[in-house]
Every structure is written in structure tokens, then in C-alpha cells.
Structure 1
Amino acid sequence: MANYPIILSQTKFTHRDTLQYPYEERGLQFGDGVYEVIRIYNGKYYLLEEHINRLFRSAEAVKIALPFTKDELTNLLNTLLQKNEVETDAKVYLQATRGSAPREHTFPEDVPANVYAYVTALSRNLEFLKNGVGTITKRDVRWENCYIKSLNLLPNVLAKQEAKEHGCYEAILHKDGFVTECSSSNVYLVRNGEIFTHPATNNILHGCVRIRVEQFAKKLGIPFNEEGFSVEDIALADELFLSSSTSEIMPIISVDGKTIADGKPGATTKQLQAEYEKDAVILPNQVTQTT
């Protein structure tokens, strides 16, 4: 695994081992912050503009003032890759909190946000992308503003951990009998050649890859319906798949131990994977060349 020692803190670059924040830090004590995970292929960002736009939307929603413009942040993130000499597949974790101040629920005054970003190596999971993954279902007990990519992820963490304990990749969340999304990804059902997924309301994260999935579907002439589907509909699905920056477009082949269709990634999912690889300019080890 690559070693990336240089991190971005505020608008400065420093070695990762030297970064320190006071223990009275609002992200640490309240989860009072927002974040993004940005994918890198062959040393280049994928969907960087979309991620930066969402970070600013999330920060505005929770009233955190970021210490830079979108263009300034873009330049800083590009410099982060250059300083770390990133040339392979990786990801950047970017976080902004309300800052460091004595612990009070109300916002501190005249306190700058704490912002940092760092690079981690991340290879594509070709086996899962090619063969698909298993999932479980869980009741969605999260708050009503999931469109904000906030640090308050405990329900997501617990759902993801339960999926792991069942030997599965993800947990499909549902509210009032209808599927919302997964613990760390958006989810889609394919039936009779059409894609169905939960509308982009406050109840789900508006995924950056989700935007691309809709665009790919329109390009391919595949109906893309922002219509919720029920847990019961899963058993009737021709295909299921999920999407996120780290999972890409991932086939789902089982839910709660029950096989979806023939238990293999479907034709629609493979078409979308091929479009993703072209869009992200993924050159080596392409999934669509190995299937």
C-alpha cells in the first residue's frame, strides 16, 4: 500500500503525524461536521466537482462556514495529490467541523472551522465488481436529513457491522416498508428493463455516482424511475445493484440469504459498469473486460 504522509489542514500542508486538534473539538464531541470521500483513478480525481458541490451544500445546511471558495478547495485538493505524488488508485477523505471550542451545545463565536484531507490507497475490488455481493435488510432508524453528509454515522456503522457479521457486503435500509438506501451507498432495483430507486429527497444521500447512474441510463435508453420500491419487491427483482464512490456500480446477488434472479450480475448492471469505466477513464484491469 502506498504511503501518503502529506495532509491538507485548513489551507496548509503538513505531515500526517504532526496534525493535532484540541480534545474539545466539535467533530469529536458532537459529530458537528460534514465530510466527503473522493475517488481517484490513475492519480486523477473522479467526480471532484460533484463532491465539492455537495460538501458546500452540506456545510451550508448545518451552518458551517468553510474557509475557502470552491475553486480554492479544488486547487488545494489537486496540490494534495501532487505533493503525495499519487499516480495509482486511491481516495481522499475530506472533513470539515465547526472547530475547536469549550464544549457547549450552542455554536461558538468567532471560531474557524477545522478542515483536513488525506489520501489513502484504494484498489478496485474486481472480484466483487465481477461476481456481485450479498446484503441484508435493516430498518432505517436514521434522522430525517440524510441528504446532509454529516459525521453522525452511528446507525450506518451499526448496520454495516451487522452486514459484516452475516458475511455480507452491505445493509439495505428500509422505512415504512420502502427501501431508502444502504448504509454507505445508494441502491437500485431492475425490473422488466427499467431501473427503480428512491427519489432524491431528504431521506437519502444524493450520491455523486448516483448522478452518473441516471446519466448512463439515459444514454443507454434504460428508463430510470425515481420511485421507491418495497422490501417485498426485492424478491421479484431481475437485478439489484448499489453505487458509491468506493463501491462504484456493484451487483447485488443475494438479500437476507435469498438469491436475486439467477444469482449473477445482470445485463443492465454490466452495461452501467462499462459506462462507469469509460467515464472514469479506468484503463487497467477493467471489470467489463474480465466478464
Structure 2
Amino acid sequence: MAKFSSSDEKSGVENGGDFKVDVFSSSSELLSKLQEKGLGKPKPYPAMYSSVFGGIVLDPAMMVLPIDDHMVHRGHGVFDTAIILDGYLYELDVHLTRFLNSASKAKIVSPFPKSTLRSILIQLTSASKCRKGTLRYWLSAGPGDFLLSPAGCPTSAFYAVVIEENFSQCKEGVQVVTSKIPMKSPLFATMKNVNYLPNVLAKMEAEEKGAFASIWVDEKGYVAEGPNVNVAFITRENDLILPFFDTILSGCTALRLLQLAPKLVEQGRLKSVRIGNLTMEEAKGAKEMMYVGSTLPILPIIMWDEKPIGDGEVGELTMALSDLLWEDMVAGPETQRFPVPFL
């Protein structure tokens, strides 16, 4: 048993040893406290769905998860995101397909079929009345206990939340650095799971150096991806190249870019569009470089490890690709955009 001296006792008081902990004897008392904390603050999360509750919650104070959910204390969960723009959900089906593929890899069985998940997400977006933002959703092994195995969890859980965000097309260039944080193994990198500590550390690592984010390079020396985005390059010969997806996450926006970019080939602005390996030296020698991700959809990169990419300015072809994706998000085909029936 540890022994404490009088100096330890004094230090404890100074550092909160006399802190009084409130005890809430009823759920109504706790709810009042939670609602009180949110008074006068913006409401960034207008709606949440929880299969544990069995419905949609509009009160931010009640947007909670069980502490014994295995996604909370074991990281046993997967997630995905869809964009809400002008009252439409962009690429919802594509994201749902990847979502369920991730769940399969994580050995999580969805409590609902894909059609029901889609219906829940559309109804949630409608109830939120949010016309611009993101829709983020999770599949968890579910609540049950604090053990390692999910065998004690009666059923998996599905959660979703609408987040109001006023994002717009990115037109300013950013700086990046090469990450020293180890990459995830292919199994975990290709599965969009909630274990994002390497991604968080890679982002913090870049911010500490005054950069926007980082770039991972794999053990073979090939460029991989950013902490939560794909990366693409325009070579000196005007080829658009994205790294292979076999050891990194297959980005839905990156795949859509590969479908749309041939329009620039037809116009004679790009020579080709392909996926392939690029060493860091080859990548740093590119004419243009960009991040590719859902809310960007293209973010120009003009500096890498304090050295300019190309002429150090936002590239013309980068913005042409950004325009293609943004136009697709705003007025693309019905197969890409789900209208939300707002009440």
C-alpha cells in the first residue's frame, strides 16, 4: 500500500484533492445538468440516430453511447461519412457499400440490411433539417461488457449523427510533411475502422511543424496516403496518378475522381489517368499534388517538407479536377445524389 506524506497531502489539495464530485440520483437530474451545459451554445449536431435507443434524438444532451460499448473501450467498430450538399446526400450508396465491407472485415454483423441503413440515414437527415454538412455513421460490436471478446454483446449497434458544416471548394494550397508515425498494416488501413490513433498523431505531427497534414510513405518507399485522405499527382508529362489501393483505404472520392478525370483527357488537358506506384523522389518531382477527400473534394498541396511542388503555386489542372468533382457533388447524376425529403 502506498504511503503519503504531509507534503503529498498538501499537493493533493492544491491539485484538486478537495474537489467535490456531484452525485446524480436520477436520470432527470443528470439530463438537466447536461442541458444546462449546452445553453447558449451553437447546436452543431442537429440529429442523431441510435439503434440502442431505437430512434432519432434531437436533443444534443442525449446524444450519448453506452460506456460498455465495445467500440468505446476496445475500438471494435467501423465508420463512414457522406456529404450533405443542397439537400442531397452525395455518394451515399458507394459509402454504404464500403461501410459494410469494413464491417465484414471487422467481423461485425449489421443489425439491419443495407436498404434499412439507407432509409434510417435519409430519415435522420430529413429530421435534422440540415442542408449542408456531413452524415457520419458507425457500426459497433455493441454494448454488453468490458471484456476483450464481443461474445457478451447481445447485438451490434448502429449510430449516426448529422454534423452541420459550412465547407466549400478548396482553392488555397497547403503544406505537408512526411510522416514519421508508422503506417497501419494493410488489413487495418483498408478497413475504415475507429482505430485512428496513428492518423491523429500524424496530423498532430504535421501541425507541430506548421504544416496542414502529413504524407505516409510505405516500407518499400512508395507514397501511400494522408492521415484521412488520399493523395494524387500530376506528373511533368500531365499524367494523373493515384497510388494503388491495395495497402491503403480505397477512397470513394478518389474512385469518383478516376471516373471523372478522363474528361480532361478527352479535352487534351491530361495525357492519362491511372493508379500506380510513385517513390517519394518521383512524387516530389511532380508538377502538381493534391489531397482527395469527401469534404474537400480536392485540396491543392504546394509545399512538401519545406520544398515547393512544381512552381509552388496552386496548379491549373488541380483546380480543373476540383471543378469536376464539385460540379458532380452539386449537380451530378441521380445515381450519385440522393434527394432528402425535408419535412
- Report the TM-score, using the length of structure 1 for normalisation: 0.90
Deviation, structure 1 residue 2: 5.7
| Residue from 47, 60, 71 that aligns with 2:91 | 47
Deviation, structure 1 residue 124: 2.1
Deviation, structure 1 residue 220: 2.2
Aligned to 1:280: 329
Map 1:229-268; keep pairs closer than 5 Å: 229-268=278-317
Can you list the C-alpha shifts for 1:15-64, whole angstroms capped at 9, x where unaligned? 33224433222111111000012111112111111111111100111111
Aligned to 1:33: 77
Alpha-carbon distance between aligned partners in 1 of 2:138 and 2:288, rounded to the nearest angstrom: 34
| Residue from 179, 184, 187 that aligns with 1:142 | 184
| Residue from 149, 152, 159 that aligns with 2:202 | 159
Cα distance change on mapping 1:266 and 1:19 into 2, 3 Å? closer
| Residue from 300, 309, 319 that aligns with 1:270 | 319
Aligned to 1:108: 151
Residue 199 (1) aligns with residue 244 (2): yes
Can you list the C-alpha shifts for 1:250-289, whole angstroms capped at 9, x where unaligned? 1100001111111112122111111112101179xxxxxx
How many residues align? The count is: 279
SS at match of 1:179: coil
Amino acid at match of 1:149: K
Greater C-alpha radius of gyration: 2
Amino acid at match of 1:119: V
Deviation, structure 1 residue 141: 2.6
Alpha-carbon distance between aligned partners in 1 of 2:147 and 2:228, rounded to the nearest angstrom: 30
SS at match of 1:100: coil
Alpha-carbon distance between aligned partners in 2 of 1:271 and 1:2, rounded to the nearest angstrom: 35
Alpha-carbon distance between aligned partners in 1 of 2:263 and 2:307, rounded to the nearest angstrom: 32
Alpha-carbon distance between aligned partners in 1 of 2:64 and 2:225, rounded to the nearest angstrom: 35
Deviation, structure 1 residue 109: 4.8
Percent identity reads: 28
Q: Is the 8 A contact 1:2 1:120 kept in 2?
A: no
Aligned to 2:233: 189
Q: Is the 8 A contact 1:217 1:272 kept in 2?
A: yes
Alpha-carbon distance between aligned partners in 1 of 2:224 and 2:123, rounded to the nearest angstrom: 37
Deviation, structure 1 residue 183: 0.5
SS at match of 2:96: helix
Return 101-110 or 163-172, whichever deviates more. 101-110
Alpha-carbon distance between aligned partners in 1 of 2:65 and 2:130, rounded to the nearest angstrom: 26
Amino acid at match of 1:172: I
Cα distance change on mapping 1:20 and 1:125 into 2, 3 Å? closer
Amino acid at match of 1:233: E
| Residue from 61, 64, 67 that aligns with 2:108 | 64
Q: Is the 8 A contact 1:42 1:282 kept in 2?
A: no
What runs of 5+ residues in structure 1 fail to find an aligned partner? 284-291
Amino acid at match of 2:287: D
Aligned to 1:82: 126
What runs of 5+ residues in structure 2 fail to find an aligned partner? 1-41, 333-343
Can you list the C-alpha shifts for 1:126-183, whole angstroms capped at 9, x where unaligned? 5xx2121111111443122211000111111100111112222221000121111111
